[in-house]
Every structure is written in structure tokens, then in C-alpha cells.
Amino acid sequence: MASIFTCNISPYVALNSGNKPRFGVKAQSLGGGDSTVWSSDAIVVNGTSFVGTKEKNGALIDGGCGEKVKNGALIDGGKNGRLNPRIEKRWVKEAVFKDLEVLWDDGHGTKTVKDYLDGAKEIIKPDGGPPRWFCPAECGKPIKDSPVLLFLPGLDGVGLGLALHHKALGKAFEVRCLHIPVNDRTTFEGLVKIVEETVRLEHASSPNKPIYLVGESFGACLALAVAARNPKIDLVLILVNPATSFSRSQLPLLPILEALPDGLHDVFPYLVGFVTGNPVKMAMANIEYKLPPRLQFQQLYHNLTALLPSVSVLSDIIPKETLIWRLKLLKSAAAYANSRLHAVKAEVLVLASGNDNLLPSKDEARHLKGSLKNCKVRYFKDNGHSMLVEDGLNLLTIIKGTCKYRRSRRLDLVSDFLPPSMSEFKCAFDEVTGLFRLATCSAVFSTLDDGKIVKGLAGVPDEGPVLFIGYHMLMGLEIYSLVEEFLREKNIMVRGIAHPDLFSEIMEGSSTEFSLSDWMKVMGAVPVTASNLFKLLSTKSHVLLYPGGQREALHYKGEAYKLFWPDQPEFVRMAARFGATIVPFGTVGEDDIAELALDYHDLMKIPIVNDFVRDLMSRSSRVRDESKGEVASTDLFIPGLLPKIPGRFYFLFGKPIKTTGMKEMLENKENASQLYLHVKSEVQNSIAYLLKKREEDPYRSIIDRTIYRAFYSPLPEVPAFDP
């Protein structure tokens, strides 16, 4: 039984644990009440029944609720753009993003491993007594109805392994960390009971919320053991380089340590520190990506020289006797967890390092994915064993990108969405897609209410709901620039309606690193269903919808800038139901960056390649039914492209079309069709306008833009044609 413990340790606040009255206080701080968010496309986990949903390879995805997409139109068997009334009444519009500002400060990049070591030095001073929980003060107050996150430490036992992530996680979770005192000798079974008791009390207090267990190395074994013993509790496990592979470790630490003379023990922390982590990546955790190389090197040198003296604190955190005890404890923990993997029913996300010198983490991640029923894996090839204190990893971003964040037993990608932070914005658009944005250098124009075309997004309404309807360029290359422009200029989050395969096992199978598809989820993409469109518009969001969808994005040769829209005007009726403003837009530039060399018909003529395409199509989701016409084609393939010297992307957002007060009028099919055709013609006109005007752009070529930047740097924008 964990004891009641109270002390004042800046910057960490101790929390009573293992005592039932404590949870009475906790319930009051949470505000009480059932936090369940009903949704038609939500999935219940761990055995609870669900309707109209499906699960692929552990990914929680929307299968609709008696709805389908016919010829690209979102329908549910009803009429006039309405969902089933039962769905409308059950969905509670309590969205997380109302509690968090877009581009909020998550504190990422402000801490380094030195902060962890300094904190560890402070927290072990009053050490003694049994294991206990504490809440880091810097986590702050979480958003409403946040789930609990319990951090289970590695061999150090300090509980500060999330030091670089406290501020970010503290917004989305109630964070509690387990501290195992230096001289504590609690057995592994005893530690399991301590965590298990806390988990059960939390579940009794909030039975409709998930409980997150983040286990690092040894802590991952602890999390698996608790999950195996509690299969009916809704748990989400995040395992960081799990030590279930301890028996296959490349470095026999225990024999080395037992043979090491006492006089050399002070050297051992330095050895372990360099083996378990990448010192350079640890020192780079707070270095700004866009700094000039000279300043980056200076900051790195400063961080490394400050870090090395702090490493000596490891000998105080884990003295020789404690380390020998915990290595033996780890051996029993790995055996215990491995023998019970079959009993684990929880959602599991494994984060594995590709440069782990202590454990075969990559192989173990593959083993756990095959052994556990609901497991995702993400590899980080450049990180070491202690990846949580290294550069290049934001734990909250990973949780969001893998669709693991939820506040109830049901995942709802609309109400549970956490808007991107400023650090995520910089990483996504400066590091991940930065070179692509630099090469395409988008020129954006919009249309005011009086019909005047202006540079920028002044013509786009700031207040939602707004429905953007446009042309999908080849492979959807325009999306990254579009979302980035709205965030940068207007601080508006555009929620894209995406193909379901983005959330399916197809994407899981093609890449297990944190990829571009994960970043799209971080930036608000949701599967294309009528219920998701309904919920986004009801929360007054800015929504991006492509009626041509996959057929336009994967078009054939000679079909550039041709619209493939269905006949049904369903999005018009849905927009009118919420009084949404429809903004038609056109975009051009795909033919300026690449030539379509191999389309679907060409690929199907190539042996072996055609088998790959057929296999890809057999595993993909069909968004449309078997209706006649070109728009019903859903050939999924990866086109062959020949790169060109990059030109430029151009966007033109047309005159906003307000649907307020048009609901009754658009119930008439003919009226709805007329408005639908008007929107389509506006998109075509925008494309034609851009194709003509781009010929007047003196900076259409990347060569001209590079020369301009050389003379006018650091101006962020390169001029285009005059509208």
C-alpha cells in the first residue's frame, strides 16, 4: 500500500496516494458529471458495444452511422441535408478546442535533460518511505474533463522522465508521476499493486474516462502487468522502449556492475548516461531549428558543457546497491509482463528508438505488435534509449497524431480535437514540409463581398461555420500550403475532410515512423462522413471539402484542372442547415512542379507493379458506391511523377456565398441544384483566372524567387501578379 505523503518540493507538488478520501477531493476538482461525448462515429473500446463503426489494426475510425457516400455526396438515407434525428440529439457539442487557443504555448523546447537532472537532485533530498505519486506543478490546470495520465518511470525511479513534456501534457491530462525512493525495496508485485489500486480508484471515480499509463522501459513492464490484471478497465498504454526485451539486451549491465570495484562506481553513471541516451540529441532539445548553424553550434556547445557536470547526480539517484536491486527487479518484471501479454486488452502505442544501445527496442516493438490485440508502433530511428529527454520528440503530438487522445470511452475526432500548438506549427510547416513550401511559395488571393480580388485572405470570413469547396490538385499537394496560410495569416484552424484510408491499416502498414499522414491528423483531418461534417459545422468550424475527392487527386493524364463532381448537392443543404458560408476556391500549380508520367492505366500495364496496385485497391476503403459515371472511379494508386524546376502554387478564394435563411428554399431539389452548380462554376472560374494571371507573375519560377530573396531577405513573402 502506498502511503500518504505531503511535502513542498519546488517545482513539484506531492500528491496523496493510496487513500480513498483523496478521490473525494479529486472528484470535486474535476467538476464531476459524466464526461461521455456521444457521437455517431465513436467507437467503444474494451468490449463495450458500438454502432456503425469499425476498427482496423487498432486504429479508431469512423464508419458512419447508417450513412454512406453516394457519388461523393454525403447522405444517410434521410433528406434535406439532415442526419438521423437520434444522432443530432445525442451528440453533445463540448469541443476541446473551445478551451484551447489555436497555436497555444505547449512549452516544448524550453527544457533539456539538465532540467531533469536538476529536478531529480532536488526531489531525492527528502527521500525515504514507500513509493508515492506526485503532480508536477508546471503541468498547470488541464482542460475540462481531461483524463488521468499516470507516468511509470524507468530504472531511475525518480518520476521526472516527462520533465520536457509536463507543460504540454498538463493541458490535456491530469498528470501524476510515480516516485520510487532510492532506498525502497518494494517487489515488482508490490509496485503492480500500488499502480493497480490507483487505477481502480480512478476508474471507480470516473468510469467513463480512459486512464493513460505511460511507461518508460521498466515502467512499460509495470503498465503491461497492470493492464493484464485489469482487462475490463479502459486503459491506454504508451510504452516507451519497453524493457520486456531485457533478456536480449546487448549490454549485460548486471554482471558488469557486480564486478565493478567500489572505487570505480562514480564513473559508472557517466557510462550508463552515454549508453542509454544520445548526448547530442539531449543537448539539442531546446535549440531553435531556424537558428543559423553557427548559433546552433554555440548553443549546443553551451548545453553540453552544462550537462556533463550534472550527470554525476546519477550516482545519487541510483547508488550501486539500488541499481543492482533494480536490475534484478527489471529481470523479474520483464518475465512477469511477457508471461501475461495474452491477457492485455488495452489500447497500446509503442514508441521505439532505432538507436537504442541498451535494448533491442525496434525488434521488441515488432514483437509486441504481433502479440497484442490492439497495438500501434512508431519508430524514431535517430533517438536513443532515453528518448523522452531527447530532441525530436513531443509526446503529446505523437498521442494526437496516432488518434490516441480521447476524453471518454468513445473516440470522437471532432469533440476531442486538440488544436495545434505553436511548436507543432513550427515543426510541421518549417521542418516537415518546409522545403516543399519553399519550393512552391504559394500566392494566395481572395474575393471581397464587393467582388474585388485582393492579395491574402481578407475576403474569407473570420467567423464560422465556413465551408471551403474547391479543386483537389494531384495527390492533394495543395493541402499543406492551404492549412498553413490560414494559421499564419488568420490564426484559423481549417479542418479537412479526408479519405478514410488516412485512418486505416493501409497507412499503418506503409510506414511506422511518425509520418506526414500522422501530421495531417495533428492538423485536424477527419474521415469523410456525413456525421463528421454535421459536427464540424455545428461547432462553427472552418471546413475543407473536396467534392471531387480521390478521383481529382488521382486523376489520369490530360485531366489536370478538370472537376469530377457528383450530381447530388448534399453539402449545399448541410451548409444551409447551419447557415454556413460557402467559399468556393480554385488552385493551380501541379503542372508547374511535376509531370504526370505514369497514371493508373500505365501502371496496370507493368508486371509486378500492377499486382501491387491491385493489392492496394483490395485493402482500401470505398468511399463511393458503384454508381455510373467517371466520378464513381476509386482507383487507388501512386502515380509516377517527373519533377520539374518548381514553379508556384496559386490560390483564389471566391466571393463568399451566405446560406443563412436559405434552409427552407434549398429543401427544393431544383433550388439546391442551382446553388450547387453555381458553386461549381465559381471554382472553374477561379481556376481559369489563375491559369491566365500566373503568366503575368515575374516570380513564377523558383530561380527568380531565389534571386529576389537574395536581394530582399528577410522579407517573408515574394510578390506575385497584381490581381
pLDDT of residue 106: 93
* Interval 383-398 mean pLDDT: 90
Question: What is the C-alpha separation between 550 and 557, in angstroms, rounded?
Answer: 15
Q: Is the pLDDT of residue 363 over 80?
A: yes
- Through-space distance between the first and last CA atoms of the chain, rounded to whole angstroms: 72
* Rounded Cα gap, residues 92 and 72, in angstroms: 27
Where does the pLDDT of residue 490 fall: very low under 50, low under 70, confident under 90, or very high at 90 and above? very high
Q: Is the pLDDT of residue 366 over 90?
A: yes
Q: Which amino acid appears at position 110 of this protein?
A: T
| Predicted confidence (pLDDT) per residue in 108-141, tens digit | 888 888 888 888 888 887 777 899 999 999 999 9
pLDDT of residue 49: 32
31 vs 332 pLDDT, higher one? 332
- The per-residue pLDDT for 509 is 57
Give the range among 23-32, 285-294, 522-531 with minimum mean pLDDT.
23-32
Rounded CA-CA distance 4/14 in Å is 10
pLDDT above 90 covers a percentage of the chain that reads 57
Mean pLDDT of 511-538: 92
Tell me: pLDDT of 345 over 90: yes
What percent of the chain shows pLDDT beyond 70? 74
Query: Above 80 in pLDDT, residue 253?
Result: no
Instruction: Give the pLDDT confidence of 275-313 residue by residue, as tens digits.
Output: 555 665 655 666 665 666 767 666 665 665 665 556 666
147-170: average pLDDT: 95
pLDDT of residue 109: 82
User: Tell me, what's the pLDDT at 120?
Assistant: 86
pLDDT for residue 123: 87
Q: How many CA atoms lie within 13 A of 245 on its CB side?
A: 24
DSSP state string for 37-106: ---TT--B-TT---SS-EEETTEEE---SS-EEETTEEE-S-STTPPPHHHHHH-----GGGTS-TTB--
Residue 347 forms beta bridges with which residues?
A: 236
Cα(570)–Cα(624) distance, rounded to whole angstroms? 14
pLDDT of residue 278: 60
Bigger pLDDT: 226 or 26? Answer: 226
* CA separation for the pair 46, 347 (Å, rounded): 8
Mean pLDDT of the region 229-252: 90
Least confidently predicted of 43-57, 212-226, 240-254, 483-497: 43-57
What is the reported pLDDT for 115? Answer: 85
Question: How many angstroms separate the CA atoms of 460 and 468, rounded?
Answer: 10
Give me the sign of the Cα torsion angle 384, 390, 396, 397: negative
Whether the predicted pLDDT of 273 surpasses 60: no
- Residue 309, pLDDT score: 55
Q: Is-contact 418 400, C-beta < 8 A?
A: yes
Least confident residue range of 197-201, 381-385, 451-455, 476-480: 381-385
pLDDT at 52 over 60: no
Confidence at 64, pLDDT banded by 50, 70, 90:
very low
Task: List, for residues 634-648, the tens digit of each pLDDT value.
Answer: 677 889 999 999 999
Query: For residue 200, what pLDDT is reported?
Result: 98
Element at 469 (helix H, strand E): strand 466-470
Residue 417 DSSP SS3: coil
Provide the mean pLDDT of the chain: 81
Q: Which residue bears the cell 511535376? A: 594
SS3 state of residue 652: strand
Nearest CA to 237 out of 209, 207, 215, 204 is that of 215
| pLDDT score of 201 | 97
Residue 193 reports pLDDT greater than 60 = yes
Q: Which of 22-26, 317-321, 449-453, 488-492 shows the lowest per-residue confidence on average (mean pLDDT)?
A: 22-26
Q: Is the pLDDT of residue 27 over 60?
A: no
* 329-342 mean pLDDT: 95
- Assess whether pLDDT exceeds 70 at residue 561: yes
Residue 353 has pLDDT above 60, yes or no: yes
Residue 664 has pLDDT above 70, yes or no: yes
- Residue 661 reports pLDDT greater than 70: yes
